Amino acid sequence: MSFGDPNNPYGPPPQQPPATPGYGYPQQAPPGVPPQQGYGYPQQPAYPGYPGGNQMVPQSMPGLLVTARVFLFIISAVQILAGLAWLYVAAIANDVSDAADELSSSSDDPFSAISDGGDIATGALLFIALIALGLAALSITLGVKFSKGGQGIRITTVIYGALGTILGLIFLFVGIDSGMATAVIFPLLWVVFGAIITAAPVVRSGTEWFGRPRY
């Protein structure tokens, strides 16, 4: 018998065909080709990176931003009360001006001067009241927009908090110079609130929150 005969018991064993991988197992990739993920395994989504490296998207608002948001709502409440108080005082000044105008008989009469002064005071008080109410609306808007706002809300909040901090520092120095403890407490609280509102969007967690992708 020749060695080429497949029935020759003394010949070399017949070559076996290469085994195929079983179902569910990843196949070996040829050299130089990256391996593919196995069947049934979902690919991981790629998240856009932030400056400083790839980072996970924040799922909830950071605690410092939540605190700043609460402070904005508290400040808005104070501003609304102040605006209403200035409106009430302006109404009183207007009533005094009208009463003095009715009692005035000539331009040289003392009541005429009171009437003119009352008109000026009424206009000034109305202007202050409108500013307070406008700032209250801004505080509420910024606090509400923290959840979905972007870089514009972040920058506006930083500027708003910084200006509030500076104003609080001015009143704090005036209160310290007066020597009265009651004149220091409110400006000190205002400085603390303003500093936290300014810092919250600037720290890393706040920057990531306002810079997160929105779908």
Domain boundaries, the chain: 63-210
pLDDT tens-digit map of 86-132: 999 999 988 888 887 777 665 566 667 777 787 888 899 999 999 99
pLDDT, position 52: 46
Lowest mean pLDDT among 37-41, 103-107, 170-174, 205-209: 37-41
Q: How many CB atoms lie within 10 A of CB 162?
A: 16
Q: How far is it, in rounded angstroms, from Cα 206 to Cα 193?
A: 16
> What DSSP string runs through 27-48?
PPPPTTSPPPPPTT-PPPPPPP
- pLDDT tens, residue by residue, 2-44: 455 555 555 555 555 555 555 554 555 555 555 555 444 445 4
Q: What angle do CA 192, 198, 204 make, to 5 degrees?
A: 120
Structure tokens at 120: 């000026």
Q: Is the dihedral of CA 125, 127, 129, 132 positive or negative?
A: negative
What local confidence, expressed as pLDDT, does residue 8 receive? 57
146: left (phi over 0), alpha (psi -120 to 50) or beta: alpha
pLDDT digits (tens, 9 = 90+) for 144-154: 999 888 899 99
Burial class (CB in 10 A: 0-12, 13-18, 19+), 76: buried
Q: Which two tokens stand for residue 134?
A: 């406008």
Residue 177: is its pLDDT beyond 70?
Answer: yes
pLDDT at 30: 55
Average pLDDT in the chain: 79
Q: How far apart are CA 98 and CA 46, in angstroms?
A: 71
pLDDT of the residue at 46? 43
CB 101 within 8 A of CB 109: no
pTM for the whole thing? Answer: 0.68
Q: pLDDT category, 202, cuts 50, 70, 90?
A: very high
